[in-house]
Amino acid sequence: MKLFESVNNNSEGDDSYNAESIEVLKGLEPVRRRPGMYTDTTSPDHLAHEVIDNSVDEAIAGFADKIDVILYSDNSLEVIDNGRGMPVDIHPKEKISGVELIMTKLHAGAKFSNKDYHFSGGLHGVGVSVVNALSKYLRIIIKRNNTKYRIVFKNGKKVCKLEQIEKATCKKTGTSLLFYPDLSYFDNPAFSSELLKHALKAKTVLCPGLEISFFDEVSQKKFKWKYDHGLKEYLLENMPANTVFGTPFTGDTETEEGKVAWAINWTKEHTGNISESYVNLIPTPLGGTHVNGFRSGLLDSIKEFCKFRDLLPKGVYLAPEDIMENIGFILSVKITDAQFSGQTKERLSSRHCAYLVNSQIRNSFSLMLNKNTDAGSDLADLAIKNAKARIKKSKKISIKKTGNGPALPGKLSDCTSRDHMKRELFLVEGNSAGGSTKQARNKNFQAVLPLRGKILNTWDHDSSIILGSKEIHDISVAIGVTPGSDDISNLRYNKICVLADADSDGLHIATLICALFLRHFPKIVENGHLFIAMPPLYRIDVDKEIFYALDEPEKKSIIKKINRKKKHGKINIQRFKGLGEMNPGQLKETTISPDTRRLIQLKYEPSQYIYGLEPTQSNTYKIMDMLLGKKNAKDRKQWIESKGNIKELE
């Protein structure tokens, strides 16, 4: 009651925050307001990929075998396919044509179920509508029902309704989409012809039988690609002759969970080989769970091969980088309900994909190695050579010794690796969760430091006095950096991961730790060493399958997918009250293992914050100062009452 009384007694709050304050962003307005949340605003290249991917999805589904892409001299782009053509009939609920619905509504599409697109990269349903929102002009011509249709948009709004422009002379179908990106949204206004060529060529490799042409009007050059032998042919084009295997190791498997295809070889010397991964033909330059599973599957096979033949010298162990050092590979995965980190889809986050790829690669590669023992031994020798070089290099790395400073905290369970680039520290909320984390970790490169409850709010404190707090003292000694110092040369870990409960208290603790590092260890944040681990809040069981959900929206999304797939059996939902409720196996699978965990890297532009600047000189500093500064209670209350009230109308 006291909280409500304090709010109700604030007449200024009553006047400034009411129903009229709530803003509803309709249609495509959220995209135009904050384009960076929906696409890469460095250049319009990502818009091109969204349109191209729609046509490629038609090819994956078996309805198209030809795509033409034209880059005009006026910086407009046209994509033409011979697929089914975008739908022109009226949607029964929205009462507008299918094409208009797709182009003007976020989260509208045919890719949320498996009815029309079994495998698709465009699972968010926002891709092509984002293109419309960020284009000055967009025109679509559709061939369908023996008729040609046209619809035109400007700045995301329809200016020419869907109309029949002529009767088609044949029964061909397809879609032509031409758009002029609004250059005011992008740092670099021009499309990259080279990047487009690379992406289009890769599409044909990953979709055998698909023919793609690209015409650049500026250079007057035309390119055409069509691969009949897929990944193997593409890898051979991009690998030197001096390889471990005479012919690439290739495979193509399919299970109920999805399809995995690959082509792999190793060079005897490191020569900067090709390494490309794709999900539903979407390039994933930042990798993700499919690449994690791929890497661990290869490593498991090599370890097994070496162990069976007693090839590993004493004191030498194989790490993932030992087999990835000289590798050249193309990995293509097709799965339903692919989840990406962000709308730009540069990293796959679907946790189950790691196990899918790992099992398929491991089994196939183990069989191949045992059938080709001479080549397998050559690869093992190469991996062992890399491991010896890595171990020798790591011994030269100076890690802060306890003899030159305070003893390491007794609660710290340190890792054994001396390779600084691999070492990770988990700052864990509570002793109970700390115990589970110690059992779940890989003690070779993962360290654990349990913290007791909420640490001191250090935002208003000087760096010279915060070491009086035992928890902060332990953190400082464990990481090897003194608060307020710009010298992080003795930093003992490459990754510092904050691991707290997924509830509101846990988020508060994570915020206090983030404030500690931003305010007193800014160089650690600036250099990208600070991460937030994302444990799930829910476990969902149905039949023999287990799903984990990060939060309430993801839980609802998973349940919808389960119902859509019409799985039998009762759905059981468990809400984790804290990390201590998770057994070590669950914690390892969801939060600790690099193959399947979710980590958010905390980053900011160096120009935004430099230690010691006044709040007026830094947006990041001002926000944190308002949230945590003791003198800003009034501003903080106003912010809580007035912010977070923007709702996207889906």
Residues 6 or more apart in contact with residue 218 via CB below 8 angstroms = 71, 73, 193
Distance CA 339, CA 354 (A): 13
> Is 505 an annotated catalytic residue?
yes
Q: Pairing state of beta strands 327-335 and 258-266?
A: antiparallel
> Is 581 an annotated catalytic residue?
no
Angle subtended at Cα 39 by Cα 38 and Cα 41, rounded to the nearest 5 degrees? 130
CA distances from 388 to 169, 300, 316 (A): 69, 18, 7
C-alpha closest to that of 536 among 584, 505, 574, 567:
574
Both tokens of 332, joined, read 């293509």
Across 347-359, b (16+ Cβ under 10 Å) vs e yields bbbbbbbbbbbbb
Distance CA 328, CA 266 (A): 6
Could you say which of 304, 505, 635, 641 is catalytic?
505
- DSSP E strands in 104-219: the ranges are 135-144, 147-154, 157-167, 174-181, 211-216
> Is 78 an annotated catalytic residue?
no
User: 221 φ, ψ to 5°?
Assistant: -110, 140
Q: Pairing state of beta strands 545-549 and 538-542?
A: antiparallel
Alpha helices per DSSP H over 81-180:
98-104, 127-133
Could you say which of 50, 53, 429, 595 is catalytic?
429
User: 259 φ, ψ to 5°?
Assistant: -115, 140
Could you say which of 182, 322, 471, 501 is catalytic?
501
> Is 501 an annotated catalytic residue?
yes
CA distances from 181 to 36, 52, 153, 186 (A): 15, 15, 12, 9
Could you say which of 89, 503, 545, 552 is catalytic?
503
Across 477-495, b (16+ Cβ under 10 Å) vs e yields bbbbbbbebeebebbbbbb
Do 143 and 168 meet the contact criterion of CB atoms below 8 Å apart?
yes
Do 525 and 602 meet the contact criterion of CB atoms below 8 Å apart?
yes
Give residue 19's identity as a one-letter amino acid code: A
Q: Where in the sequence numbering do the catalytic residues fall?
A: 429, 501, 503, 505
